[in-house]
Chains A and B, each alone.
Chain A
Amino acid sequence: MATAVTTDPMLSQPYVVEEVSKETPDTFTLKLKPEEGSHHAGFRPGQFSMLWVFGVGELPISISGDPGNSDQLVYTVRSVGQATNALVTRSAGEDVGVRGPFGTGWPLDAARGRDVIVVAGGIGLAPLRPVIYEVLNHREDYGRLVVLYGARSPRDLLYRKQLAAWARHRDTQVLVTVDYGGLSWHGHVGVVTSLFKYARLKPSRSLAMVCGPEIMMRFVTRELESLGLTRNDIYLSMERNMKCAVGFCGHCQYGPHFICKDGPVFPYESIRPLLEKYEL
């Protein structure tokens, strides 16, 4: 018998691991499908779910899959502790609890008809991948797509085959860099901001979406502003310790905002003063 999708945001829904694939030595992509008979409610690019590994804990993880695929939810997870390790070592057929999706999402409506600049650092590409899918799935609705992606080293790059495939789409430029490269790496070496000089941009008709470590985003916003983008045309995805995901517990409070409910995506203009405050 089919189960209805619950409306209680605090109640996990049972999902089954369909596939786990290794992206880098410590990062894995999990494909989850609802237990037989139920379905997921869809999501907006930039939203996240709370994933519960029974007996271990619950984690906020951005959805990294194609919003056009309603059969499964996809998450890219970096193993950095007990709970994330428990998640990435799940096998096909095992259960995971899913709450959500939560959060605001990227401003794709505002991006319609404009060039889209995606700037990602490290695992920050995961929450932005749905944006890339969405733009490429509805190519005529958007202008040029420019993806600038930086990682620590070549072995830390996510979605390598997809990056190459995206670069072959019309009106799409994909530039990838690593902070340090070995002899076998023939691509760019340097921080992600160094890619701007090679990007073909029209700042006046562009909207930028940025996700990565906060310090990287500070440097990136500075670069985008110097190119001529306004603060209202720059969006950042923020990260804090999210627990309830619905703005009750206060764990993810960021100044006057709750990251889980008011974010994780914010216009740069609205959070710029907070980014410059120490220890916030």
Chain B
Amino acid sequence: METLERIIAEHPFFAGLESYYTGLLVGCGSNVRFQPGQYIFKEGEEANEFYLIRSGRVALEIAAPQHKPIAVETLEQGDILGWSWLLPPYLWKFNAHAVQDTRAIALDGKCLRTKCEQNHDLGYEVLKRFAQIIEHRLEATRLQLLDVYAVR
């Protein structure tokens, strides 16, 4: 049987994390499942958790007045969803909805923040991983902004 600890340890986001730290994370985690079309969070809501996606597909959307929402990124198996729980004001900046039947591990942000404050080694490990994700997504966003396929 797959334990939560094993699932967390095998997720690419936590690859290489010492088992002691994985044990600390387990207490903040729970299994969740989202149906296609279901909103996981919406812009402006409190950001209390983040998700390790195990299967399915989630779209991150921006909704502008008088326009239909635009998906700017999709996240899938092996990806993580959400970092607004990490920094004040702890509010989501985008909408996220499941495009497909999606299974994930939800990690309680408040719980994790407390553990990271208490154990700075764990905090550094978590921040290092998020910094890498943020760097990749920033690069991708810059490429997206260039609109490279447009007619010049």
Contact = CB atoms under 8 A, between A and B. Distances in A.
Most buried by B among A151, A194, A216: A194
A182 interface: yes
A191 B100 contact: no
B74 to A, nearest CB: 4
Interface stretch (B23-31, B64-72, B106-114, B117-125): B64-72
B24 to A, nearest CB: 27
A212 B150 CA distance: 12
Contacts of A156: 149
Given A191-B143, A193-B143, A182 B149 contact: no
A191 B144 contact: yes
Nearest to B140: A191
Given A182-B71, A186-B100, A193 B140 contact: yes
Interface residues of B, number: 25
Given A193-B140, A193-B143, A198-B76, A215 B148 contact: yes
Interface string B141-152: 001101111110
A121 B59 CA distance: 21
Given A190-B73, A215-B143, A216-B143, A181 B149 contact: no
B40 interface: no
Interface residues of A, number: 32
A185 interface: yes
B149 A180 contact: no
A247 interface: no
A122 interface: yes
B116 interface: no
B99 interface: yes
A180 B150 contact: no
Contacts of A212: 148-149
Given A179-B144, A190-B140, A213 B72 contact: no
Given A179-B144, A188-B57, 6 more contacts: A123-B149, A181-B74, A183-B71, A190-B140, A191-B143, A219-B139
Interface of A: 26, 78, 80, 121-123, 150-152, 156, 177, 179-183, 185-191, 193-194, 197-198, 212-213, 215-216, 219
5 shortest interchain CB distances as A-B pairs: A122-B149, A181-B71, A213-B148, A152-B149, A189-B74
10 contacts: A152-B149, A180-B71, A186-B57, A188-B74, A188-B76, A189-B59, A189-B74, A194-B73, A212-B148, A212-B149
